[in-house]
Structure 1
């Protein structure tokens, strides 16, 4: 088998289950992990993991392990590893995931002018949506090196459950995501306050943590929503699934942050659809490539809290729509976003990277 070095500065932030899923489900390639810092190993057990401090040490590891090619997770990592790729004379695939897009002002500064070199010397690139593909092409990435590759989820881990209208009449809206600007939690809370003004039998549960937690809690208090909005904090993946099975509607108000940071296609939306939750989200980045408006969920413009509130009320008041949306959402995940299908596609990309590209871009 060919050996691939999956390189990520930190292995592995709790939000990056998609990287772990791809890593442990490879069939035809032998992966090793190289990183500068190890964290959350109890949730993401893997062996072997090699820690390195500098590029010379990394080169020694890759030579000793006889690695055939590099899979750099995130564009910034790929740009940083160009000298390693050149020193070893091996191919490199770089995967972009969202915050590393050149539309993000902070990320663009960190590239320090190396993005153009990465596009020229990197062997291949993946993005998680057609929206991201367009962005990279606009910034100079050759189409023949670029693949749209969706991260998949293990659908067997997400028991399908028809969301039924609760006997006590209290509808739980769930949102899961880091408490950062691009997740749009501020907008969701404002939209929820408008829903609550019209229907007191609603509750909002927010799962996740981040630098905006205190600000968001203050917002909730100012809106007098303390008793109906719950900040659950960060949870393990099994506990997130449990929350989904207890909820009735899923909401994610993703938005483009002030610095240009945006989503790819949020995995949490795939998970919500897999469990049978009708979703309300935004016309943001690659989300419309996953959620079909009026079919598996409802989509509204970014930061339009009136439209978000209207969509939530539409679902709450029409529970007869839930089952139809749930079936459509589950079918979409099973067909196009399941782990088995996506691993096969990733390994096909690996084949092309090793053997040289003959590609017109993959949708």
Structure 2
């Protein structure tokens, strides 16, 4: 059973439940976590976790723990660990998730010219969508090194239920995401304003926290939506599930930011679909790989607030469409985004990378021995 070192600078931000889910569901490999800062330990209990301050300290940990493979979470971490990988002569798998893509201007600056070396030296890379794969290939990553590996959700934690109109006839639209530009919350609020003018008996609940909160609260006040839009703040995993059980419609208006930051395939959309919520979202990044427009949800162009409003109104006015969309959404998530299946796939990737690395090492040793024998 191979031993894997999962390296993430911070273990673990509340928005990265998918990393924790993979860790605790491993069964054909064992894992340790290495990080510079530990956080949210009550929500993400794991043992063992090793904290390190320098690459030298990390190398000592990996050597002592007899690690077979480094799994760097996020491209920037992979670039930071190149020296460790080379020093230990150890294979490394790097997972890209969205903000770390080279299309993001800020991330490219942080790579400091190391991205080409990462693509050259790294044994393999995972991306969460086909869209991400195209981006990495366009920036020079060998296609043969890339695995499209969807992050999964624990389906059983999101019980399916039929979305029905409540007795008070108030329709609740739920959105969940950090209050940052790429989540498009300002577009959603503008679209909701249009919806509310045509269908007053509707409410919007936004779960999440972030630097744009003050700006978004002011937008709500300016539009006189104080009584119909509620900011819930950062919620626990359990509280988000409860919100999904109570809502009638889910919306996420993801956009590509001016500096090129974008999503992969947001896990919260998978969770909403698994719950049985009809979904409205945008044709952004890998989202169309999850949601088929008109079948499991409705997709509109980025920043199209009028289109977003019309999509929401279409669902609100046609509750008979909720159930067939919900069934299709649950079917898609169960088939392609089930955490257990995705962990099996990840472990297969681990095994493949380790075996190919060891085989190359054996071949190099054999070649060297043949050269030595010829010289004699």
Q: TM-score range by the shorter chain?
A: over 0.9
Question: What is the CA RMSD across the aligned residues, in angstroms?
Answer: 0.8
Residue by residue over 1:331-362, the C-alpha shift from the partner in whole angstroms, topping out at 9 and shown as x without a partner, is 1111110011101111111011101179xxxx
Please state if 1:181 is matched with 2:176: no
1:128 is the counterpart of 2:156: no
Q: 3-state SS of the aligned residue for 1:192?
A: helix
Aligned-pair CA distance for 1:165: 1.4
Deviation at 1:320, TM superposition (A): 0.2
Q: Deviations over 1:155-210 (max 9, x none)?
A: 00001010001221110000000000000000000000000010100000000000
Match of 2:288 in 1: 288
By how many angstroms is 1:258 displaced? 1.2
Instruction: Specify the SS of the correspondent of 1:238.
Output: helix
Secondary structure (helix, strand or coil) at the match of 2:46 reads: coil
Question: What residue in structure 2 maps to residue 142 of structure 1?
Answer: 142
Map of 1:167 onto structure 2: 167
For residues 335-354 of structure 1, what are the structure 2 equivalents within 5 Å? 335-354=335-354
Query: What are structure 1's unaligned runs of at least 5 residues?
Result: 359-363
2:13 matched residue in structure 1: 13
Match of 1:323 in 2: 323
Name the residue aligned to 1:22: 22
Is 1:103 matched with 2:103?
A: yes
- In 2: Cα distance, 1:337 partner to 1:69 partner: 24
Larger Rg: 2
> C-alpha displacement at 1:131, in angstroms?
0.3
In the alignment, the residues of structure 2 paired with residue 6 and residue 216 of structure 1 have an alpha-carbon distance, to the nearest angstrom, of 36
Normalised by the length of structure 1, the TM-score is 0.98
**2:356 matched to 1:356?**
yes
Counterparts of residues 1-363 of structure 1 (less than 5 Å):
1-356=1-356
| CA distance in 2 between partners of 1:222 and 1:123 (Å) | 52
CA deviation vs aligned residue, 1:223-261 (integer Å, no higher than 9, x gap): 000000000000000110000000000000000011100
Separation of aligned partners in 1, 2:44 and 2:179: 22
TM-score by length of 2: 0.95
Partner deviation per Cα, 1:30-75 (whole Å, 9 max, x = no partner): 1000000000010000000000000000000001111111000000
Per the alignment, in what secondary structure is the counterpart of residue 94 of structure 2?
A: strand
SS in 2 for 1:356: helix
